Amino acid sequence: MIALAGPKRALFAAASLSAVAIAYPAQADSLREALVSTYNTNPTLQAARSDQRATDETVPIARAPGLPSSNLTATHIEFVRVSANSFTAPERNLGVNGQILVPVYSGGAVKNSLKAAKERVAAGQAALRNTESAVFSQVVAAYMDVLRTEALAGLAANQVDVLSINLEATSDRFEIGDLTRTDVAQSQSRLAVAQGDLRLAQANLIAARETYIQLVGSAPGELEAPPPLPGLPDTVGDAIVTALENNPNLMAAKERADAAGFDTKAAGAGRLPTVSVFTNVDYSDFYGTLGGPIAANFLQSETTANVGLRLSVPLFQGGLPAARQRQAGARESSALEQVIEAERSIIRETRATYSNWRAANAVIESSQAAVDAAELSLEGVRAENSIGNRSILDVLNAEQELLQARAQLVTARRNAYVAGFNMLALMGRAEARDLNLDTGGPLYDPMVNYERVYDRQWDWDRDPKAEPKSTRTVDIPAASATIGPQLEPGE
């Protein structure tokens, strides 16, 4: 072991303790707070909610063709040239026509289009759930990446400190002839590599913090260790069963397939008769010009009305209805295949994620054992070096092995947690309602807007002007590689 003076030995101890402190921050922002901020301010999630509100409107749009409609048409005509043989032609005319049309039967087009729209609303709600869990998965990964890169940067800084002390001690022993120039060069080389590794670790830390800012909308403080994940499966079979029952992406695919089936039926309605009831009211005013010189013998305005039943029976449309139905049928077939594709994908992802999660947990155990062994090994190599039985290179190698074991342990902890959360997302259990997030108000419920617009039939009904709800990050200072709280402006 290299003999260290009192101050040097103290510095090495402090550096070692700093690495442990970095791996386990004492005070921090929590993962729950990060998820709440994401839930309330993330633009991807806010945009998905807006898209779902747009999908909600397809229901009243599909219903509208089956409801009564009315219109009013006013026409003013100036007869600039009339027949020379007409002595009673008017010079001008005002015509007003009012019409009410009540659809009675449309061959099932409206009914099936409405059912398809409702299925697409359900599919959109499932897709919104999938977006929420996907964004949360990204946030969890970003949160754990910040913790990991902080720990790795701390380990890299600690390694630079240790190797600086080693180089100083080696140089001192070289001066007294106890070591060779080769020993000094080896120490210099390892220190230079460690300094490069530190710069790379700091760059990775900045990148991780910037990703966090992008997703969460605020800079990370001193993050605390994440809480245990609830409801993880005991076996891969349990995970598969739950995923096939609750995965929102699969549910959305099934709803879209059902909607495509109704589209096929609606397309076939184009060859069937339609029945409607109509009412017309016409008003005409000739401004006293009807009849010319004998205008007094004519009524200059009149009102007429009629009511009737209209039956329209398509006889030949050039194959258009059949082509539309075949087209819709092909799209229905595609949607059904996409259900199978989604199911296959979920099975694959669930099995692979479960395997990654189990493997990461196993790596944690082995890495912890490796760290314990590497610490003992380094202590022994240093002791043997102090009595001349080990070379400086042996000490440097032992230090490098300990660093690698610690880095592997930090990475394995990150991988296990991220894989576990991804498992919950695949099982449909990684949304705000599953995580019991306190968002400062009721959770967003897409059914509220759906029920709000479901029966609206007034043509002049409007919502307030659209305004963004997510927060911007332009005023958040650029992330640094400083290990410690990342403060907001003014803090």
Residue 449: what are its φ and ψ, rounded to 5°?
-70, -40
Residue 447: what are its φ and ψ, rounded to 5°?
-70, -25
Q: For 378-391, what is each residue's pLDDT tens digit? A: 999 999 988 888 88
| Domain range enclosing 236 | 12-41+108-153+185-197+208-270+323-436+475-491
Q: Is the pLDDT of residue 54 over 50?
A: yes
Whole-model pTM over 0.85: yes
Burial 51-83 (b: 16+ CB within 10 A, else e): ebbebbebbbebbeebeeeeeeeeeeeeeeeee
Please tell me the distance from the alpha carbon of residue 422 to that of residue 436, in angstroms, as a whole number: 17
How many separate domains does the chain show?
Answer: 1
Burial-class residue 186 by CB neighbours within 10 Å (0-12, 13-18, 19+): buried
3-state secondary structure of 112: helix
Q: Is residue 103 part of a domain?
A: no
Smallest Cα–Cα separation from 109: which of 265, 298, 248?
265
Q: Is residue 340 part of a domain?
A: yes
Burial-class residue 463 by CB neighbours within 10 Å (0-12, 13-18, 19+): exposed
Q: Is residue 252 part of a domain?
A: yes
Query: Is residue 147 within 8 Å of 223, Cβ to Cβ?
Result: yes
For residue 70, give the H/E element and its range. strand 69-78
Q: Which tokens is 345 given?
A: 């994908």
Please tell me the distance from the alpha carbon of residue 124 to that of residue 416, in angstroms, as a whole number: 31
Q: Is residue 377 part of a domain?
A: yes
129 vs 49, 248, 426, CA distance in Å? 10, 6, 11
387 vs 110, 130, 382, 400, CA distance in Å? 93, 63, 9, 21
Helix axes 109-175, 392-426, angle to 10 degrees: 170
Q: For 456-489, what is each residue's pLDDT tens digit? A: 999 899 999 999 999 999 999 999 988 754 444 3
What is the CB neighbour count within 10 angstroms for residue 157? 22
Give the pLDDT confidence score for residue 484 in this predicted structure: 57
Q: Is the pLDDT of residue 86 over 60?
A: yes
Q: Is residue 351 part of a domain?
A: yes
Q: Is residue 365 part of a domain?
A: yes
The residue type at 202: Q
What is the side-by-side order of every strand in the sheet holding 274-285?
69-78, 92-105, 274-285, 301-312
Q: Which tokens is 326 given?
A: 């075949």
Q: For 420-431, what is each residue's pLDDT tens digit? A: 999 999 999 999
At residue 9 the predicted structure's pLDDT band, cuts being 50, 70 and 90, is very low
CATH label of the domain that carries residue 135: 1.20.1600.10
Q: Is residue 397 part of a domain?
A: yes
Please tell me the distance from the alpha carbon of residue 178 to that of residue 479, in angstroms, as a whole number: 46
Strands (E), 82-179: 92-105
Q: For 22-46, what is each residue's pLDDT tens digit? A: 343 333 489 999 999 999 999 999 9
At residue 10 the predicted structure's pLDDT band, cuts being 50, 70 and 90, is very low
Q: Taking residues 217-231, what's their average pLDDT?
A: 93
The residue type at 344: R
Q: For 130-181, what is each residue's pLDDT tens digit? A: 999 999 999 999 999 999 999 999 999 999 999 999 899 889 889 888 888 9
Query: Is residue 60 within 8 Å of 453, Cβ to Cβ?
Result: yes
Share of the chain above pLDDT 90, in %: 79
Q: Which tokens is 481 given?
A: 């590689």
Q: Is residue 91 part of a domain?
A: no
Q: Is the pLDDT of residue 490 over 90?
A: no
